[in-house]
Every structure is written in C-alpha cells, then in structure tokens.
Structure 1
Amino acid sequence: MGEAVSYPQVRSGTYAVIGGVARPGLYPANSDHVMLKSTESDNPEPTLFAWNETHSVWSAKVPVEQCERVFSARWYGMWRGHRVAIDALSEVAAVTYADSSGAWAAENGFTQVDKYEYQREVPAAELVDVHEVQTDLLFEQWRTRFPVPDGVAITGWRS
C-alpha cells in the first residue's frame, strides 16, 4: 500500500509577522495598525492579545511599527492551461478561476457564483505550477521613507 499524500495548508488573506510568527489579521489600507484575532481557547500570546467579550475572541490592535511584515497571501496554480486561485487543497482542490475567459470556465465545469467569479473542485494531481503569491502591504509606506533624489529617473516604477 502506498504512502498517504500530505498537502500543505493553503493560506489566503492578510498576515502580520510579529516576533517571527505570521498571524492572520486585518490591515485597513494605509492604516497605522493591524487588527489580529484568535479563536484559540487559550490566549496565544498574552503580551499581545486581550479577550474581546463582545466577539468572544482574543484580539489585538498592533501598530505597524511593531510588525516585521504585513502581507497578503494567496495560492495559485494552473489547471488545464488556465490560472486558478486555490481555496482549499487536499486530494480534491477547491479553486476559483483566475484567468480571463469566463466562457472557458463555464464550458469546463466551473459554476458562476458572481458576475466574474467561477468556482469548482478539481483533482489536486492535475494542478501544476502551484505557488503562493505574497504582496507586501507596507511597501508604499516603506518607500516614502526613501524618496527618489531629484534628477533620478526610475523606469517601471509605480507612483
């Protein structure tokens, strides 16, 4: 009998790295803080979290200066030559179509769940080029600390 295949945990959302630990959270664009919450039974980090009775969760409001990183993460792969976002991964993967042909998605068994959103399950073994995409959410704030000197042109730079 063959070995059981183990699949990595797919993460999607916003994360703040504090003390070397990436924790799920919310980061309002260009805010000066990150909101964290945990539904664990015990306080995951007593120096950081406090009990929020209203929502019955451990919560923390952390200044971005205390974060090593704040980033969004999403897993992607290719299925039958088209890009998909991976929402859950086991032997069967729950995916959201992330390419540009809604007609192709509909023809290939995706269910339209919103105007431009198509979802379905596919065999995980058929996914190729599976990878996590991370976006640094503090980059614009960091970049303003290092202004481009007058007379220096940087091509391909977003302002």
Structure 2
Amino acid sequence: MKPPQPRLGTYVTIQGREYQANSWPADGRVTIFSRDEANPDPDLFTRDEQTGHWVASVATADCDSVMAVYTEAVWKGAEECALLSLTDDGEAVLHHLRTILDDILPGKPVTEAGFQQVEPGVYARIASAGDLRTVSECQYDLLFDEWARGQRG
C-alpha cells in the first residue's frame, strides 16, 4: 500500500472544496484540475483531451483561498528540508532548504550530510522516514497581496 503523500504545490478552495492548481495565480485567474474519473463539478470543469484531467480557469475573486503548500521536516536534528514524497519502503525524498545560506552561515556543507546536487542550487537525498522530526505543512496565502491592496473583501 502506498503511504499518504505530503502535499506539494498550489491548492485552491472554491465553495469549501479544495482543488489542485497547475500554477500560481496570474492576472486574476488560476487554472485548477482534477484527476478524478468523474467530473467533480460539471458547472466548472471541462475535460482536457491531452491530459485526460478535468480543468477549469477560475477568477481568484471566486476563490475562498489560493495557497502554495509544501511539507517541511527536520532531518538529523538540524537539517531543514522540504519533504517531497515517501516511498513504499519507508524512505523520504528530501530537498535541502538552506542551501543558499551555506556560503554565509558556518557549518558543514550539505554534501557532507549526504545531499547531492541535482541541479544548480538544489540538493536532494533519500533518508529513512523514521529519522524525520518536526514534520509540518507550510501554507502561503497567494491572495494576500490582493487582500492587502483592498481588492478582496
């Protein structure tokens, strides 16, 4: 059985129902999708023939919330990581979150902790999920600027 996965990406709530989005909002709109077999809301979604997903472009004004979400974990007591996924055999796929500060802050380089560079500025490793501590979901309100400018109620 596949373990429950940490959430990662953009999530939109409309009339109390949560949907994934394929990107952050832009120009007052956000595109949401569903992988469900049946259309989750025929008034909202249409089938994308290329992907087979149900998709909808909605105005951010019609959204209860638009959040960027990732899961953060402390590994080996000090390493701040993004938890990307969990494997069937109890391993955690991690990205190091403080790589940018390594040249500024004292301490051992992330490569000494077993992280490998997967692209410029991005270091990843696989570790036992049992070694993770303080696992928490982080949410960032992507409509905060609209609210602050008085464009939302």
TM over 0.5: yes
Please show how residues 43-62 of structure 1 align to structure 2 within 5 Å.
43-62=39-58
Q: Which residue of 2 aligns with 1:24?
A: 20
Asked if structure 2 preserves the Cα contact closer than 8 Å seen for 1:27 and 1:33, the reply is no
Specify the SS of the correspondent of 2:109: helix
Corresponding residue SS for 1:101:
helix
Residues 68-83 of structure 1 mapped to structure 2, 5 A cutoff = 68-80=64-76, 81-83=78-80
1:129 to 127, 131, 134: 134
Q: Alignment length, in residue pairs? A: 142
Number of the residue aligned with 1:33: 29
1:92 aligns with 2:91: yes
Q: Larger C-alpha radius of gyration, 1 or 2?
A: 1
When the two chains are superposed, the root-mean-square deviation of aligned CA atoms in Å is 2.3
Q: Find the aligned partners of 1:24 and 1:141 in 2 and give their Cα distance.
A: 20
CA shift at 1:19, angstroms? 1.9
Question: Which fold has the larger relative contact order, with Cα–Cα distance below 8 Å and residues 6 or more apart in sequence?
Answer: 2
> How much does 1:54 deviate?
4.1
Q: Identity over the aligned pairs, expressed in percent?
A: 30
- Provide the rounded CA distance (Å) in 1 between the counterparts of 2:147 and 2:134: 31
Larger CA deviation: 50-59 vs 85-94: 50-59
- Listed as ranges, the gaps of 5+ residues in structure 2 are none
Q: What is the distance in 1 between the residues matched to 2:116 and 2:144?
A: 36
